Structure 1
């Protein structure tokens, strides 16, 4: 790696520190109880040359991610970087501030805004812009503005069409599984040192404070849509189904500045994210970048993004956009070309290499996304997970397959003996694949767990991708120590406060245990006492159907409750009996169906096994 890449090119280090104004010292942020939610001081070990436990390319990017503070991007445009995984951009309006992407957590956003006001002036926030629907771009909003300011019209919140639906989808509907997998992807339980977490690849780390969400007041639904926000002209480019399902760029014509949200970055991004999310459209993503290049490239003096540092100069901006455009298009086209020759997803992922001009470009390196996974994402989007080989049409699940493999190979001792030789030969991928069968066949086999952990650890040390490194090292940790418990209630996230009534019922339906509910049927009406909304909720065929209630609807039982109580019930934070006893819920008619429905809902544990059955 040291021989292949231009490590003597230090321009990125200059750019990452350009325009520095001030920062916190020490770079530590706490919540109201004194609990540390952000501590950049832990990463001071990122000095000098890369140790043997870290890929030197990833080490370089991690060093770049340690730059922190308030920076001036251009006249009237500033960024706070290194206060979270993402950036908070501050644009000076005529009477106050326009804030773009208020970080992940309330505490970090508040600290960032305090730094802004200390050095730029104590002016009010007039506008919040969410560039897209990922939590690190909206979660800190209540740290800098309140519900009342938005409800009273003092603050506008601008977001792309579909923002709220997709924010909820990722953080609630699939939230439990995604949160557990995110512990692996971001290495949240690993030590912060040269043998553990050194970066996320996208930023140095995720903050651990309170997430929040306020509903948008203004929606961007098309390209060329314009708004004047506190005297500043914005022209928006709507880019759905790109890096996020709901995303947008914007151009500031009076400042000749372009914000590309997270659709470009100083690395290769994810077409598939290992924490789990919808596959992203590589060719659509590439086309959005091309559209931005053609529309705004010739009239842009500075481009800023929602992670990492800006790019200055029209020529540099155009070159950057062109490289990122071509990166995603190349992955897309090469994958489909090889698929047309009959190669499978796994084969293509081993075959594709970036061409000259991209292969040694720092902004095409797989620090967060990876070429291997992105190729598989393109294949999956068009052809699905099945490779066409009937032998793979209906394989045994991991435990049953593991038992059979181990028996065929002569037992666990024989497998481990051969695997140790492969480990000594440096064939760690093969060790991880083979010994995984022993672990799933005999999960209490300590020798197998230790050898599997050793192999995963070595793969982690070699990885250029931070998510791959963190997945490997967290897997090794869980094999040695057991899964680290994280039983924080889903209701602790304020994302749920922004959920609509229908979204709450959608999540309730996800919690319904279908096999237990099969054969049961009844109709319940739900009356929201504070919003005036009413819903007809029917249990039939093992599913919950919800629709607006009609005046002539029949119901076996009726619930009267405020939205907050419905939220607690839908998320499993409050049992129905407790809500009734507390006077939060009144039941009219037959009470039995209501208790039966909520008794059929599963409760999800935050920690489940991944590397063992």
Structure 2
């Protein structure tokens, strides 16, 4: 339902989203070297039409604003590329070149954005790069704007907040396969763009699919108030760890009066726990850092820009914007904790907190297009109380498929449940239909009538969702239910492999540790010595008790390695990226083993490949 307090005649957001337009690609379709389309903003042109009955008017409005693309002047010397990816790329002109902030997901998109900028502002070289936080849509396109050799030669500094590499690895490598699978649902990547399919997800319209990578930072921001000058561009930083990302920062451009708030304030309520999966964020700290932002920079900034969406001009306007964003996260935190301490569980709290107070509910930027009060309040509860709601009946439940089989038997069998569900569907109780049919499908995934009715239920729930990620989850679930396993099978992507050269040796070995089949490995004790000849680094891998432990230096005292391997780091990178393998590299003399190389083969045989595809709406 459309919230009656919203001012549908307010044109401020559209004016700000189009202000300063210098030019655009026409058409804005970006391809990789093979000609494959990696980004196409033109597919959202249908959003210019009136909102149909298959979409929430607020989400439709948000998609229309997010689909505005091009090169925009924020103030003289500060520019943004918007609509070339889910995120924005900001460009700040220096004495001899331009500093690039947040170079998108894909190299093709960031390169196209830089080319558009240069077509209007001249062939300025990139003289610095800033990553505002540790999510891939703000760093993975870096190879499109800067050459690794220039960074390695210290000609181009790359700045990031403290902890950047640790958290970039943790999210994109260790948990990457599972997150990417759920991200397909969250971002609606399998859905066709259209009134009955994808219309965006609040934070942006889609995610690009080009070449990705990571260049490790050369400079780290370690404290609030720290200043750094790159090519004459002075930046004053505020660290904001544990907010929208575990490693994140805002910064002021004092000579321009521009405040860049990364993803800490957006034209939507953000996620305390994203539906694709992530660490639970600290809503209380998030609100506190926004208060600090206002105190540090509120009287020094005239324009606010972010890593998503459009700018806010005017000191009073940006302070109001930051204050309302702050109050949104503070309200959902404080009220969740209040209700938690009254004994309510996460699910009960989500039902209690239906809406913000009127003063916040009428703010377009506090609407739940991406995050929602419902799943954010559950995330706050989870942060404090964990997965268990305290009811002993929920302490040791059967897994979904076993539980579903018993439920369906108790309810009279699959056909009887589907018949009853049809009546509930006709009565409009879609949430109940979705729940009971999930039991049928987890007990009998091939029940055709249940699949059909569940798909229709998901579609109706999606069409009514104001939240873009909810819509995409529902419609992606319907997509899955209507297809056989072969049609559903896709890869989870390879963004994690593209990051391999930027990771430390220890991080690479840790990526093996989370792939180790512990129960099978428990029967083995293996020591492998690794000498990386070009790094002058020696590592020992200890496999014991079903755990793989990387140790810098030599083997534990009194033990000799089963096998020692000499190689260059680049060879190791190619092997881990799938461009080579150990047998071929040993045969080519690029890896030189000494001792029992069967130990290496045993270890490699205990490493599992992550699932390249798995169902979500089905068992």
TM-score by length of 1: 0.98
Mapped to 1, the partners of 2:329 and 2:10 lie a distance apart of 24
Asked whether the equivalents of residues 505 and 570 of structure 1 are also in contact (C-alpha less than 8 Å), the reply is no
553-562 or 33-42, larger mean C-alpha shift: 553-562
* CA displacement, residues 385-439 of structure 1 (integer Å, 9 cap, x when unaligned): 1110101111111100000000000001110000000111111111110000000
Question: Cα offset for 1:6?
Answer: 1.8
Which residue of the partner structure matches residue 461 of structure 2? 459
* CA displacement, residues 167-194 of structure 1 (integer Å, 9 cap, x when unaligned): 1111110000001010100111111111
Mapped to 1, the partners of 2:302 and 2:72 lie a distance apart of 17
Mapped to 2, the partners of 1:356 and 1:3 lie a distance apart of 10
Asked whether the equivalents of residues 212 and 495 of structure 2 are also in contact (C-alpha less than 8 Å), the reply is no
* CA displacement, residues 93-127 of structure 1 (integer Å, 9 cap, x when unaligned): 11110111111100000000000111011111111
Q: How does 1:52-63 map to 2 (within 5 A)?
A: 52-63=53-64
Give yes or no for the alignment of 1:585 onto 2:591. yes
Question: Cα offset for 1:491?
Answer: 7.1
Give yes or no for the alignment of 1:531 onto 2:535. yes
Q: Relative to 1, partners in 2 of residues 1:152 and 1:283: Cα closer, same or farther, differing over 3 Å?
A: same
Q: How does 1:453-492 map to 2 (within 5 A)?
A: 453-482=455-484, 484-487=488-491, 490=494
Q: Relative to 1, partners in 2 of residues 1:200 and 1:411: Cα closer, same or farther, differing over 3 Å?
A: same
Which residue of the partner structure matches residue 447 of structure 1? 449
Of residues 428, 431, 436, the one that matches 1:429 is: 431
Aligned residue for 1:323, secondary structure, equals helix
* CA displacement, residues 436-462 of structure 1 (integer Å, 9 cap, x when unaligned): 000000011111111111111111111
* CA displacement, residues 318-365 of structure 1 (integer Å, 9 cap, x when unaligned): 100100010000000000000111011100011013112111210110
Mapped to 2, the partners of 1:145 and 1:121 lie a distance apart of 17
* CA displacement, residues 236-294 of structure 1 (integer Å, 9 cap, x when unaligned): 00111110010000011222211101000001000000000000000001011000011
Aligned residue for 2:401, secondary structure, equals helix
Asked whether the equivalents of residues 236 and 248 of structure 1 are also in contact (C-alpha less than 8 Å), the reply is yes
Give yes or no for the alignment of 1:558 onto 2:564. yes
Give yes or no for the alignment of 1:605 onto 2:611. yes
Asked whether the equivalents of residues 173 and 511 of structure 2 are also in contact (C-alpha less than 8 Å), the reply is yes
Name the count of aligned residue pairs.
613
Mapped to 2, the partners of 1:572 and 1:106 lie a distance apart of 20
* CA displacement, residues 488-536 of structure 1 (integer Å, 9 cap, x when unaligned): 6637742122111000000111111011111211211111122221111
Which residue of the partner structure matches residue 416 of structure 2? 414
Which residue of the partner structure matches residue 384 of structure 2? 382
Q: Relative to 1, partners in 2 of residues 1:367 and 1:28: Cα closer, same or farther, differing over 3 Å?
A: same
Q: Relative to 1, partners in 2 of residues 1:488 and 1:577: Cα closer, same or farther, differing over 3 Å?
A: farther
Of residues 489, 504, 519, the one that matches 2:523 is: 519
TM-score by length of 2: 0.97
Q: Relative to 1, partners in 2 of residues 1:3 and 1:232: Cα closer, same or farther, differing over 3 Å?
A: closer
Question: Cα offset for 1:582?
Answer: 3.7
Which residue of the partner structure matches residue 312 of structure 2? 311
Aligned residue for 2:482, secondary structure, equals helix
Question: Cα offset for 1:200?
Answer: 2.3
Q: CA RMSD in A?
A: 1.4
Which residue of the partner structure matches residue 514 of structure 2? 510
Asked whether the equivalents of residues 180 and 493 of structure 2 are also in contact (C-alpha less than 8 Å), the reply is no
Mapped to 2, the partners of 1:3 and 1:557 lie a distance apart of 67
* CA displacement, residues 46-105 of structure 1 (integer Å, 9 cap, x when unaligned): 123211111111000000011110001012111010011111101111111011111110
Q: Relative to 1, partners in 2 of residues 1:318 and 1:3: Cα closer, same or farther, differing over 3 Å?
A: closer
Mapped to 2, the partners of 1:245 and 1:320 lie a distance apart of 23
Which residue of the partner structure matches residue 2 of structure 2? 2
444-453 or 174-183, larger mean C-alpha shift: 444-453
Question: Cα offset for 1:487?
Answer: 2.5
* CA displacement, residues 556-605 of structure 1 (integer Å, 9 cap, x when unaligned): 11112222333355566654333323433221111221110001110123
Gaps (5+ residues) in structure 1?
A: none
Mapped to 1, the partners of 2:484 and 2:378 lie a distance apart of 30
Mapped to 1, the partners of 2:251 and 2:406 lie a distance apart of 56
Aligned residue for 1:291, secondary structure, equals helix
Give yes or no for the alignment of 1:540 onto 2:544. yes
Q: How does 1:155-174 map to 2 (within 5 A)?
A: 155-174=156-175
Which residue of the partner structure matches residue 243 of structure 2? 242
Of residues 477, 494, 499, the one that matches 2:498 is: 494
Q: How does 1:109-124 map to 2 (within 5 A)?
A: 109-124=110-125
Give yes or no for the alignment of 1:403 onto 2:405. yes
Which residue of the partner structure matches residue 256 of structure 2? 255
Give yes or no for the alignment of 1:327 onto 2:337. no
Mapped to 1, the partners of 2:184 and 2:385 lie a distance apart of 29
Give yes or no for the alignment of 1:202 onto 2:203. yes
Of residues 366, 369, 372, the one that matches 1:367 is: 369
Asked whether the equivalents of residues 20 and 69 of structure 1 are also in contact (C-alpha less than 8 Å), the reply is yes
